[in-house]
Amino acid sequence: MTDIADLTAVALAEAIRTRTVSPVEAVEAALARIAAGADLNAFMAIPAARARAEARAAEARLKAGEPARPLEGIPFSVKDLTLTEGVETSQGSALFAGTIPRADAVAVARARAAGAILIGKTTTPEFGHKPFTEGPHFGRTLNPRSRAHTCGGSSGGAAVAVATGMGPLALGTDGGGSIRIPASCCGVVGLKATLGAIPNLQAPDLFGANSYVGPMARTVADTRLLFEAIAGPDRRDPYGQSVPGPGPRLAAGDRPRLALLMRCGNLLDPEVEDAVDAAMRRAEGLGFVVEPIELDLAALEPAFLVFLRSLLLARLGRAAAATPEKLDPTLLATIEAGRAYSAADLAEAQFARTATFEAVQSILARFDAIASPTLSAPALPVGLDPLGRIAIDGRDAGTIRGAWYPYTYPFNLTGHPAISIPCGRSKDSLPIGLQLVAAWHHDRYLLDLAAALEEDGAGICAPV
């Protein structure tokens, strides 16, 4: 069973299709791996009995001669922020402990319709409010690469799950980098697709949406497999309406133009710079054209905080006042900070969002994609204050959001698709991520670029 748990989703799908591995074996292997790695604390809920029943039903269909669906029998996990019919969705919080949704989120329903089998809900800080996957409701999720360092967040449980073979596929969410941050920290792949490409109906304000549901896996091919199963229009999502055609693809002989954004108004760890620079040299060896650009994304942090804090205040302000003992102190502080903003502040944040979108559009009119570090430094040590300041390369770099992940949250606001792929390791063997960003609805082209640049044979994406 151990070997089955280490298969990629693509390999497992083929093995199930050809009847060399059964869905029952695939689910049992994933459940065994979850049990073996229980100390990593990656899961909030594990519906094992239901998963086994669905695996037996899938095996019966295959034995009856029915064709295998794209994700037939493949175990997958879902972040605890995302609704799962019949399986507890607590939002990582004691406030919603025991909440059982009556229906799946769109992405979950589509994955299950394609044959995937839900094996568990993965950990998240309360309501995804911080980049470390820890909280009073469940404790701390550990990074399998180094338990002394954070696994990132807020989709930390999902990243740990796929990194360790606890199912080859996971659904995370990303409201400011929450798929890409833990992907970088844990050495896996995470995709934040174009706004609306994967419909997300859970946001209370669908028009001001900047939170996404997206796939995470150990390889780009696996990430693509899940993306293809869950992407597509939904008339209920204002950004999820039909788009003309599937978008461009990378063809043999193409020479993609990459805009290299090495710094964006931030300090940068030298090891991260070296790893990204090496990735760009490899890209040039593959025929890519790489040119450096300048863009100050770190300056967008105040606007991003207006959105984040105001939303949390609007959603949770009453609960924070009535039952503060049920909420993480850092969440309470974030909610309280939202009280300082005015309607004019929110409008000015929208202006900044628009200006950043225009700046990115201008760059992508001249380049096929933007390449950057995913994070300014590898995984941070555990125990840091998520609202505090950090040092990078021995110097005070500022607050964690503006200093550690200034490359990620701007693209939540602009809506462009962004993916993080492993591109090296630090001297302490901590994974380092490379982010690629493409034009709206060029998600498949972005996956093509990522596949071309994905490191092969370096052990970066191998299960822990």
CA dihedral 354, 359, 360, 366 (to 10 degrees): 150
- Choosing from 77, 79, 121, 184, the catalytic residue is 79
Chain length of the chain: 464
User: Could you tell me the CA-to-CA distances from 195 to 210, 302, 415 in Å, in that order?
Assistant: 8, 22, 5
Q: Are 60 and 95 in contact (CB under 8 A)?
A: no
Residue 90, φ and ψ in degrees, nearest 5: -95, -5
Catalytic residue among 77, 154, 184, 420: 154
**Which residues lie across from 372 on neighbouring strands?**
435
Grouping H, G, I as helix, E, B as strand and the rest as coil, residue 245 is: coil
List 258's β-bridge partners, or say none: 290, 369
Distance CA 330, CA 137 (A): 13
| H or E element at residue 50 | helix 48-63
Is 178 one of the annotated active-site residues of the chain? Answer: yes
Residue 438 to residue 280: CA distance in whole angstroms:
16
Tell which residue, 281, 107, 237, has the closest CA to residue 179: 107
Say if CB 92 and CB 123 are below 8 A apart.
Answer: yes
Q: C-alpha 416: how far from its chain's center?
A: 14
DSSP state of 458: S
Q: Which of 22, 93, 178, 310 is catalytic?
A: 178
**Does the annotation mark 79 as catalytic?**
yes
Q: Examine the residue annotation and report whether 426 is marked as an active-site residue of this protein.
A: no
> Which residues carry out catalysis?
79, 154, 178
